[in-house]
């Protein structure tokens, strides 16, 4: 059985794939899609927050992903992989109030990749998102006198 938040992430990913192919879809259609698949106000709000936030920060997320995806230009990635990465990166970097640990988000994105991507998608998603989950190295502090 798929967990409730997992299902909301799945619907958000589906909406992102749809947005990429047709960004002119009316808001009513987007909200109805989420409602019909989730039928729970809290899950719908979570799904739409993921979707709206990812779309809002799409350019920034794409720049971040491009900076770490060695040998893979974003436009050459499979559409599912690209949108799973965007969704995962958004949740890891832009939703600290949820306090969902990055490894949990990555596991969720790997599961989406298993369900909707190619056989290589899960390891690809893991390799890219893992780079954002690790804390940045601390800068050297100059000695005090």
pLDDT of the chain along its 145 residues, tens only? 458 899 999 999 999 999 999 999 999 999 999 999 998 999 999 999 999 999 999 999 999 999 988 777 888 999 999 999 999 999 999 987 887 899 999 999 999 999 999 999 999 999 999 998 865 544 444 555 5
pLDDT value for 64: 94
Are the CB atoms for 71 and 41 separated by under 8 Å?
no
pTM to 2 decimal places: 0.88
Question: Are 85 and 62 a contacting pair, CB within 8 Å?
Answer: no
Q: Which of 80, 92, 91 lies closest to 124, judged by CA?
A: 80
Q: Select from 89, 70, 76 the least CA-distant residue to 12.
A: 89
Q: Which of 70, 123, 91 is nearest to 16 (CA)?
A: 91
Q: What is the pLDDT of residue 133?
A: 83
The hierarchical CATH code for the domain 4-132 is 1.10.940.10
Domain boundaries, the chain: 4-132
Residue 10 DSSP SS3 = helix
DSSP single-letter state for residue 77: S
């Amino acid at each position: 059985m798929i967990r409730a938040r997992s299902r909301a992430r799945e619907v958000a990913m589906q909406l992102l794939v749809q947005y990429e192919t047709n960004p002119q879809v009316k808001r009513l259609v987007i909200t109805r899609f989420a409602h019909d698949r989730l039928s729970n106000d809290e899950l719908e709000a979570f799904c739409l927050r993921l979707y709206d936030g990812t779309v809002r920060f799409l350019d920034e997320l794409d720049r971040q992903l491009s900076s770490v995806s060695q040998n893979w230009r974003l436009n050459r990635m499979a559409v599912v992989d690209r949108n799973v990465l965007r969704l995962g990166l958004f949740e890891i970097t832009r939703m600290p109030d949820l306090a969902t640990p990055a490894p949990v988000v990555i596991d969720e994105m790997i599961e989406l990749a298993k369900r909707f991507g190619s056989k290589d998608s899960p390891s690809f998603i893991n390799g890219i998102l893992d780079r954002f989950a690790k804390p940045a190295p601390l800068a050297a502090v100059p000695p005090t006198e």
